[in-house]
């Protein structure tokens, strides 16, 4: 199994605090059947800053550590990039790092809102030859309240990634329901852990895929797992025509 969203690099953001934490996370990942992770530290999030060059260095160091510890986990480079007005300049300046240096780029929205310029920015990123992947949309308050927004982004070429923990209820019932809705409406393309530690924000990939298989069948499990492999190989991923959610009935009537 491949996990495309983790905060396993030590001491650089709100994920692993030390090499010991990274080792513990790696062992938990392996127990889940994960053989490859993409390290996706936050690019910029207030008190820390991680550019492409520093991430590549830290990934190399961590892979050497895991090799010395006998942990069978490969770490690939990536970055979780909070959307901001100068992101195109960041790409041009080689500050922004795509996932495993492919055409796929993580884009994070603020937790409570979607910037008004987001639609244009996602388009401009695609004009650069990159494919934006909106991370954990189910945990964004504005997207939760206005599901047409994500539908439009996906319809216009963006992809999205749902957090495994959302599907098993780690973030509450509303977020779980919306995450499931994104699967049902073909609005998401990847499942990843967004693991930060081994306790409160741990790897629950097996649990998430068990839930998906029970609810939607093995084909969806295969689709999501294959997409992660296609991503790291820089291949086009599986995507189906997105749909808007059906309107809920009220007193038995639409």
- Domains of the chain (ranges; CATH) run 2-232 (3.20.20.140)
CB neighbour class for 51 (10 Å; exposed up to 12, middle 13-18, buried from 19) = middle
Predicted confidence (pLDDT) at residue 46 exceeds the cutoff of 90? no
Higher pLDDT, 30 or 48: 30
Q: What confidence score (pLDDT) does residue 247 get?
A: 63
Nearest to 212 by CA among 249, 169, 180: 180
- Of the pLDDT bands very low, low, confident and very high (cuts 50, 70, 90), residue 248 is low
- Of the pLDDT bands very low, low, confident and very high (cuts 50, 70, 90), residue 245 is confident
Measured between its terminal Cα atoms, the distance across the chain in Å is 42
Give me the residue label for tokens 């939760």: 144
Instruction: Provide mean pLDDT across the span 36-40.
Output: 98
Q: What is the pLDDT of residues 73-121, one digit of tens each?
A: 999 999 999 999 999 999 999 999 999 999 999 999 999 999 999 999 9
pTM recorded for the entire structure: 0.95
């Amino acid at each position: 199994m491949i996990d495309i969203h983790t905060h396993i690099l030590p001491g650089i953001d709100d994920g692993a605090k030390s090499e010991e934490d990274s080792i513990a996370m790696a062992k938990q990942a392996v127990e889940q059947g994960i053989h490859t992770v993409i390290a996706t530290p936050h690019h910029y999030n207030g008190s820390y800053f991680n550019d492409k060059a520093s991430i590549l260095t830290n990934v190399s160091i961590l892979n050497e550590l895991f090799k010395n510890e006998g942990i069978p986990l490969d770490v690939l480079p990536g970055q979780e990039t909070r959307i901001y007005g100068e992101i195109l300049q960041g790409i041009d300046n080689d500050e922004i790092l795509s996932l495993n240096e492919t055409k796929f780029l993580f884009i994070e929205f603020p937790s409570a809102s979607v910037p008004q310029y987001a639609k244009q920015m996602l388009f401009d990123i695609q004009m650069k030859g990159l494919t934006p992947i909106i991370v954990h949309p189910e945990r964004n308050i504005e997207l939760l309240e206005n599901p047409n927004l994500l539908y439009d982004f996906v319809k216009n070429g963006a992809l999205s990634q749902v957090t495994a923990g959302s599907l098993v209820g780690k973030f509450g019932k509303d977020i779980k329901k919306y995450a499931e809705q994104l699967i049902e409406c073909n609005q998401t393309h990847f499942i990843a852990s967004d693991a930060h530690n081994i306790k409160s924000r741990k790897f629950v990939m097996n649990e998430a895929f068990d839930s998906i298989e029970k609810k939607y069948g093995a084909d969806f499990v295969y689709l999501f797992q294959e997409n992660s492999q296609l991503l790291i190989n820089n291949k086009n991923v599986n995507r189906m025509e997105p749909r808007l959610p059906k309107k809920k009935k009220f007193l038995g009537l639409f």
